Structures are given as structure tokens and as C-alpha cells.
Structure 1
Amino acid sequence: MIVIDPQSHVPPFEQLRAGLLAAVASNELAAGQRLPTVRRLAEDLGIAPGTVARAYRELEASEIIETRGRNGTFVSATGDPSRQQVQRAAAAFAEQIRALSFDADEALTLVTAALRGGDTALT
């Protein structure tokens, strides 16, 4: 559940945007799930409809949610775009490893070390 803190230095639209993004990333809001109308969510959260509309616009521009005209607003059917970017990067990396005829297990060890912030130098 998203809570807007009126005392926060973070603007309400950003609190809402971040809350919805976190809910999508955690699958609390599943791909294809319908979101409340702007007016309904504004009423539930005690904020202005324009605030909700701005958060929805920004999430739609990022392809996190999509508006289907009079049918409403939904979590994008394609899922979390950041996950899609990671999948594309992983596929490109795998393709490059194959092209270099590099050992897959050693490549995974290097990636794991890099993600943990460790030394990635070849031994």
C-alpha cells in the first residue's frame, strides 16, 4: 500500500511514482493489472488528482503502465522495463562470450565478481 507523507521533502507525485514503481518491481502489482482511476487514487491517498495524473504520465512515458483509453490504466503487459533491459544486456554479453570462444563458467565468475564489486582481472 502506498502512503504519501505530506511532511516529506519529496514531492507527492514522486512519492506516488516511486511507490507504484516499487510495487511493479516487487510484483505486488502484476503485469496487466488494472490501476485505480486518477480520481479514485487521489481520493484514497488524500492528494490532488493532478498529482496522480502526473505520476501516471511519468510512469506511462517510462512504459511501466499503459492507458487503454476508456478501459483504464494498467500495469504494462510487457512487465518491468528495467528487467527487459537487463535481459537484453545479458543476451548481448552471452553472444559476445560465444563469439570470443570464452569459457562460460569463467565468464560467469567474472560477472559475479564484477557485480559484487570485486576484482575482475583474469588470472
Structure 2
Amino acid sequence: MIVSVDPASAVPPYEQVRSGLARQINSGALAVGTKLPTVRGLAEELGIAPNTIARAYRELEEAGLIETRGRAGSFVASSGDESLSRAREAAETYAAVTRALGLSGEDALKIVRAALAH
């Protein structure tokens, strides 16, 4: 199984799928060019609605992590490596700004956690 969904989690199923795939793409566990399961196939495997998977795939595509090639399917995009690099750069910039403002690391992390929760 490529990802799993915990029905008891407070995190919506589409977000569990999206974040699980994003984590695997960014870590390299899912290599560039890897074909992803079809929306219907993954929905059936996970026992959730196809629209849930479709939403996760749309968000991954908008983030540049996957690309959909019509009837050929969805694949891990080469820009996935670029996305991780851009996120690292943004984090470094954020760290420099919060240090310059005199914020503690703990306060800076609280701000990030709040931003990610939205």
C-alpha cells in the first residue's frame, strides 16, 4: 500500500493521502517518474471516496509534486526535488528573519505550526 488512512484521525483523509505522498516524494522514496495508482484504484484500496483521492492528487499537482498525463495517469514530477529545495530556502529565510526580530526558536516554531494548521 502506497499510503494509509487512519479513520480515527482528526486529520481529513485527503490530507493524510496528500501529506503521505508528499513526504514520500520529497524523501525520494517515490522516485521521479514513478506512476501513481489511479484515483479509483487508490480509493478502492483505501476504502474511501474517489473524490478524496482526486482532491489530494489535485493539491499535489498544484504543488508541482506530481503531474497528470491524461489517460496515461499521474506520475511523480521532476519538480518534486525543486519543491523540497524551495521549502528549505524559505525555512532558512524565515529563521534569519525571526532571529533578527529577536524571537526565540520556540516562538518561531509556534508560529510555523499555527501557519501549517490553516
Asked if TM exceeds 0.5, the reply is yes
Structure 1: how far apart are the matches of 2:87 and 2:13?
A: 29
Structure 2: how far apart are the matches of 1:15 and 1:60?
A: 16
Residue of structure 2 in register with 1:68 after alignment:
69
Distance 1:19 1:86, change over 3 A: closer
Unpaired runs of 5+ residues, structure 2, are: 90-95, 100-104, 106-118
Structure 1: how far apart are the matches of 2:80 and 2:19?
A: 16
Larger CA deviation: 76-85 vs 41-50: 76-85
Residue of structure 2 in register with 1:32 after alignment:
33
Structure 1: how far apart are the matches of 2:77 and 2:39?
A: 17
Structure 1 consecutive aligned stretches of length 4 or more whose deviation exceeds 6 Å: none
Query: Is 1:48 matched up with 2:49?
Result: yes
State, as a whole percentage, how many aligned pairs show the same letter.
Answer: 55
Shift of 1:70: 1.1
Which is richer in helix? 2
Structure 2: how far apart are the matches of 1:24 and 1:83?
A: 9
* Amino acid corresponding to residue 4 of structure 1 in structure 2: V
Bigger Cα Rg: 1
TM-score under structure 2 length normalisation: 0.69
Provide, for residues 52-88 of structure 1, a one-character-per-residue CA deviation record: whole Å limited to 9, x for no partner: 000000000111100011111000023333334268x
Structure 2: how far apart are the matches of 1:79 and 1:27?
A: 9
How many pairs were matched up? 93
* Amino acid corresponding to residue 85 of structure 1 in structure 2: R
Residue of structure 2 in register with 1:10 after alignment:
11
* Root-mean-square deviation (Å): 2.3
Structure 2: how far apart are the matches of 1:86 and 1:5?
A: 27
Structure 1: how far apart are the matches of 2:10 and 2:42?
A: 21
Structure 1: how far apart are the matches of 2:87 and 2:48?
A: 34
TM-score under structure 1 length normalisation: 0.67
Residue of structure 1 in register with 2:111 after alignment:
none
